[in-house]
Chain A
Amino acid sequence: MQHAAEIVVQRLTKDYGRFRAVDNISFEVARGSVVGFLGPNGAGKTTTIRMLTCYMPPSSGQARVAGFDVFGQSLQVRQNIGYLPENTPLYPEMRVEEYLDYRGKLRGINRTARRQRIADVAQRCWLTDRLRWLVGKLSKGYRQRLGIADALLHNPPVLVLDEPTVGLDPSQIREARKLIAELAGRHTVLLSTHILSEVELVCQRVIIIGRGKILAQGTPDELKQQCARAGAAGARLLVEVRGPSDQVLSAVKALPGVEKVQVLTDGPVQSLAVMGRLDAQLREQIAALVVQRGWALREMRVGGATLEEYFVQITDPGTSQAAA
């Protein structure tokens, strides 16, 4: 009897002395899915991942990876997990092939299978032309690929990647994402990152964590809807007007239903973010105002709910209480 969830985390907590890095979090990751583990730096992502990969034991709570308990069956968990730590630590004096061979030995893969697996992961991670290179001579992008190749070497059901795209250039990031997207279905992937667009592109589900707590989880679309709903009490308009700056600002502020006006760029042409009540018919009012004063309306649009805004909104200490 196998569980449909490959990673099950129940009330996991980690204390460093008096500092609680991870606070009573619970979540599940379904088999074959790519889940983004999102949070600002210092939110507890790496700590959670380190507990899941058996690098450190939890202070309390439970976690099961591939059906094994991370505390009681640590060896089995480690056998079923492929892990890419932050910053991809490697041995610079070894050759790529040699390193993969060594890692295969550590996982108890026999010689023939090892050769096959190395050729396979090298191909999947576009490393074939670098197998004879010294690891220390590889560029950051290739080092990252080598790290992912290492994580894939024993064909583990679960992959845990800690910030796999940090320090890569844009084209390398795109390649890395392509690779990760390809892994979906064959592996269960937990991907930690603080880059939002990455999550929107490759992840089926997102778990947002901040100050050790889970703030939200769901599909990227669900989160966007939540964000839109959270913002439903107030509409957000982006307005660009050509006119005398002090007058424009005060006039817009004076409109009924306007709650807050934020100046995005100042000058002869101003762009403003206007927050106000949804029922106040702000767009009509602003249009009428501009026409009446003889200014020029250059642009007006409703600010869409992006995951980015939601993220900032719920991880920001000031507003998070309401969102959580």
Chain B
Amino acid sequence: MSRIIAVAGRELKSLFYSPVAYIVLVLYLLFVGLLFSMLVFIPGELANPQPMFEWNHLILIFIVPFITMSLLSEEYRSGRIEVLRTSPLAELEIILGKFLGAMGFYCVVIASSVVFVLTLVAFGRPDFHPIFTSYLGLLLMGSMMVAIGVFFSALSEHQILAAMSTCVTLVTLGILVGFVRQLVPTAWFAATQIRHVLGYMAIEPHMANFARGVVDTQNIVYFLTGTGLFLFLTYVVLESRRWR
């Protein structure tokens, strides 16, 4: 456990040493600020931050790949993977350390949006319950997104490639699947079932529940299985690289 924390701590620090971290933070605040000013901060309306959280994943889809892209690919490229893998560390400790390090930074990113919540509190009386569940949702959604990023980072030694494939996957799950679901013709065989499956795969409906203040086991299971699946795939990739 202490080794996982050591890897995670180093990763978190090194993210803050790089300029990417600050660019990512600024961009995130900028776009959440846009959502906030356009959909939430409207004089005379209810102080309801729900839209800000409901559409948050559209921003994070493009933010998370930059957090995760270098996690393992940079280790491959620089040869440090050899140092890491000849240390007395289990594969799982490396993966969890990297994952938690990136999650740490992700938490800093989403926590920065608290300024908007505070603004809302200063001017109105928002309901705190959905705000808490929204942050819980963002955390769970983030863990799946970061796990996807870790996986693609383990696949390639080019961090740009890792970022792009992560982004494509997240866009697919976050946006495309939702569209395709609408496009499935009713006349098709098992159209309702297909729609149901696609609806379950998409990120958006799961996050929407949390944003509304609903904590449903189905949504929690979705994000946690996603996280587990991609971390397991990362393990498979790391393990198979040894035999090459």
Contacts and interface: CB of A to CB of B under 8 A. Distances in A.
5 contacts: A55-B242, A56-B242, A89-B79, A105-B3, A106-B88
Interface in A69-114: 75, 78-79, 81, 83, 85-87, 89-91, 93-94, 102-103, 105-108
Interface residues on A, range: 20 to 34
> Closest 9 CB pairs between A and B?
A105-B6, A89-B79, A93-B17, A89-B80, A78-B88, A53-B86, A79-B88, A85-B82, A106-B87
B83 A89 contact: yes
Contacts, number: 62
A89 B242 contact: no
Contacts of B119: none
Chain B interface mostly:
helix
B79 A87 contact: yes
A18 to B, nearest CB: 14
B80 A107 contact: no
A147 to B, nearest CB: 9
Contacts of A85: 79, 82-83, 86
Contacts of A103: 87
Given A106-B7, A106-B89, A55 B80 contact: no
Contact of B80 (A83, A90, A105, A106): A90
A67 interface: no
B164 to A, nearest CB: 24
Given A57-B242, A57-B243, A93-B17, A78 B86 contact: yes
B86 A83 contact: yes
B18 A93 contact: yes
B186 interface: no
A79 B83 CA distance: 13
Contact of B82 (A16, A55, A106): A55
A130 interface: no
Interface residues of B, number: 23
B218 interface: no
Interface of A: 16, 50, 53-57, 75, 78-79, 81, 83, 85-87, 89-91, 93-94, 102-103, 105-108, 150
A91 B14 CA distance: 9
A54 B90 CA distance: 12
Nearest to A107: B88
A55 B78 CA distance: 15
Contacts of B129: none
Given A89-B78, A106-B87, 19 more contacts: A16-B244, A50-B82, A53-B86, A54-B85, A54-B86, A55-B85, A57-B242, A57-B243, A85-B79, A85-B83, A86-B79, A87-B79, A89-B82, A90-B80, A93-B14, A93-B17, A94-B10, A106-B88, A106-B89
Contacts of B243: 56-57
Interface in B16-57: 17-18
Chain A interface mostly:
loop
B70 to A, nearest CB: 11
B217 interface: no
Contacts of B193: none
Interface centre among B3, B6, B7, B14 (most CB of A within 10 A): B6
A16 B244 CA distance: 7
A75 B3 contact: no
Contacts of B78: 89
A35 B67 CA distance: 44
A108 B88 contact: yes
B18 A108 contact: no
Contacts of B244: 16
B81 to A, nearest CB: 8
Given A57-B242, A94-B14, A75 B83 contact: no
Given A55-B85, A55-B86, A102 B10 contact: yes
A303 B69 CA distance: 59
A107 B243 CA distance: 24
Nearest to B80: A89
Contacts of B79: 85-87, 89
Contact of A75 (B82, B88, B242): B88
Contacts of B242: 55-57
Nearest to B15: A93
Nearest to B17: A93
Contacts of B10: 91, 94, 102
Given A54-B86, A78-B86, A93-B14, A108 B80 contact: no
Contacts of B18: 93
A165 to B, nearest CB: 18
